[in-house]
Amino acid sequence: MVGGYMPFPIFLATACALSQRSGFDAVIRDSIAMGEGYDAFYRYLEDFNPGAIVIETSTPSLRNDLEIARTIKAMLPLTVVIFSGVHFELQQEGFLLKHPEVDYVVYGEYEVPVNELLIAIRDSFQPKGLAGLGSLLYRMGDGVIKTPAHALADLTDLPWPQRTGLPFDNYYDGVCGLQRPQLQITSTRGCPFECIFCVWPQVMYHSNKYRIRPARDVVEEIASNVALNPYRSFYIDDDTFNVNRRHVLEMARLIKERGLAGIPWGIMARADLMDEQMLVELKDSGLYSLKYGVESADQAVLDEIGKRLNLERVKKIVSFTKEIDIKVHLTFTFGLPSDTIDGIERTIDLACSLVADSVQFSIATPFPGTRMYEMYQDRGWITTHDWDRYDGSKSAVSRTDHFSAEELERFVHMAYQRWGKAKSGHMTGEFRTEFRDRLSARLCDGARVLLLQCATYTLTQELLRQLNDMPYEVHIMLHERFVDVFAGMVAPERMHVFSNTADFRYELLHDFAVGLRQRHQFDAVVVPYSNPNGSGYDEVERIALLAGTMIAASVGNDGKIVK
């Protein structure tokens, strides 16, 4: 519940660089990362007046992206609108028939076929000449033609992503406290495993092929970008970084040789493919944190979904990872096909027993185009086709024979509560004393204190309980989805609820925070962090200082006062 995650648009930026290499006057614009509103975006577009625009869409953003396309067509009817991205409907001929605002669709991995389409448009090919292009849907008479999928790109042929014009300091994956500005790159694509829920190999690549960039090229990309901008960390955004052991060890060696080991970095990895030597070499090259996907404590469930994970190996590797002081983030999923109450209880117990720094509990989301979606659709388990809700975190879009959608949502809430209690550092008597003393030294009795719900809600709940025992008038600022979580802990008139953004974006919450200060004259604000050091919380702290006179205390997820 914080602006701590903003992925860099690798595919779109690579497509931009590729089109520039082909001689196009191409630019990339990321309005979300820029915090740009619709009016400003449309003004920019009107001034630029592009001959073509490529929009990368996704399942949860599709409805909004189509509305943008309609607006563009109304403003600039001669601009060619091309859709790409990770959504199964893009591969269906009916999509173009249903949406006249879209001129072409390039499905799957799209950088190379988009570039070939742009060249064809530039060279005035007639529609019949498009048949030789791959991964393309285009209109022909009253119908739509779909060409066969383009071959997957040789990663050595792709240019580095275009970063000029993008807000380099806004892209960020703050796993376990990685600091920003952060450089995000990739070193591989694909995954050889066959998890039924994973959308990338099934919808984007149509393949389980694992492709590796030359390690030296990856490290040169890191070094070149670090020389241009003051990055404080980098994140290698591979689906599974450690599939190829030789690649992992070469990356670690070259990072050290290039003098980059002093920059903290992170990865997503598979725990049962790790070994002690890899982890030691990675740690020596500056690896600060990593994510391991565990999903379930039930081996039968893991086998059924194609994960094929060795749980005993996972436990040993997680323990060793922490032993050598690499921070660990674990992910778990509820609502998998054969999940039972007992299985989910054991999964929560496993999460609480492993020595992770942070966790994520998600609701299984059967994204359209995946084998999971087909299975759930065939069994009548899909509860909504409202694609806006297919985000994998806020709400369930399916049920199983054992759980309703609402029950799955409750299990996620319960899991975070239990894990929060297991991470009981913030509940110690020593912390309570320090927290009370810190506030007492800065505030008078009766002071108005605003608590921000910008971290794991179990931490915020504990801070609220302690604040309620102090002689202050306590308020809380929170997103609407947390209202039920804090009901009964604070009076309704002291709950200040926003809904216009899913996290703490400064531009979007500026007026809201200023209004709170004008109405309530808060003496202080308390800011909980979802990591130990508060990295990535710059926007949150700016909002806090808009709403109150000062930040009286900032508390990390390890139960320590940071500031």
Spell out the domains of the chain, with CATH numbers in brackets: 5-147 (3.40.50.280), 172-426 (3.20.20.70), 429-561 (3.40.50)
Whether omega for the bond prior to residue 181 falls within 30 degrees of 0, making it cis, is yes
* pLDDT reported for residue 559: 73
Query: What is the average per-residue pLDDT within 330-357?
Result: 94
189 forms beta bridges with 211
On the question of pLDDT at 425 being above 70, the answer is no
Angle at 506 between CA 500 and CA 508, to 5 degrees: 25
* Band of residue 561 on the pLDDT scale cut at 50, 70, 90: confident
Residue 214 carries which side chain, given as an amino acid letter? P
Residue 423's pLDDT is what? 75
pLDDT for 417 equals: 82
Distance CA 560, CA 563 (A): 9
Predicted pLDDT of residue 530: 82
* DSSP structural state of residue 548: B
Higher pLDDT, 24 or 434: 24
Residue 218 has pLDDT above 90, yes or no: yes
The per-residue pLDDT of the chain, averaged, comes to 93
- Asked if pLDDT for residue 426 goes beyond 70, the answer is no
Residue 287, φ and ψ in degrees, nearest 5: -60, 125
Cα gap 84→107, rounded to integer Å:
6
CA distance 54 to 11: 11
Question: At how many degrees (to 10) do helices 10-21 and 111-122 cross?
Answer: 40
Average pLDDT over residues 204-219: 96
CA of residue 479 relative to chain centroid, distance: 18
Cα 18–Cα 22–Cα 25 angle in degrees, nearest 5: 90
Q: Which two tokens stand for residue 343?
A: 């299985």
Q: Are 207 and 239 in contact (CB under 8 A)?
A: no
Neighbours of 278 (CB within 10 A): 18
Q: Specify the pLDDT at position 128.
A: 58
- Low-confidence winner among 19-23, 203-207, 262-266 (lowest mean pLDDT): 203-207
Token representation of residue 157? 């042929």
Are β-strands 136-140 and 104-106 bridged in parallel, bridged antiparallel, or unpaired?
A: antiparallel
Q: What is the pLDDT of residues 387-409, one digit of tens each?
A: 988 987 667 999 999 999 999 98
Pair of tokens at residue 419: 């894990």
pLDDT digits (tens, 9 = 90+) for 79-119: 999 999 999 999 999 999 999 999 999 999 999 999 999 99
Is the pLDDT at 2 greater than 60? The verdict is no
Task: Give tens-digit pLDDT for 521-535.
Answer: 999 999 999 888 887
Residue 502 pLDDT more than 90?
Answer: no
Alpha-carbon distance of 370 to 196, in angstroms, equals 6
pLDDT at 483 over 80: yes
- Per-residue exposure over 358-370, b if at least 16 CB sit within 10 Å of its own CB, e if not: bbbbbbbbbbbbb
Name residue, tokens 């900032």: 554
For residues 239 and 200, the answer to whether their CB atoms sit within 8 Å is yes
Percent of the chain with pLDDT over 90: 78
Residue 127 is predicted with a pLDDT of 58
pLDDT 10s digits, 273-306: 999 999 999 999 999 999 999 999 999 999 999 9
Distance separating the N- and C-terminal Cα atoms of the chain: 20
Residue 173, classed as helix, strand or coil, is: strand
What pLDDT is recorded for position 1? 41
Cβ neighbors of 522 (< 8 A, separation 6 or more) are: 448, 449, 450, 475, 516, 547, 548, 549
pLDDT tens string 21-55: 999 999 999 999 998 899 999 999 999 999 999 99
Average pLDDT of 362-377? 95
Q: Which residue(s) pair with 80 in the sheet?
A: 52
pLDDT for the residue 64: 96
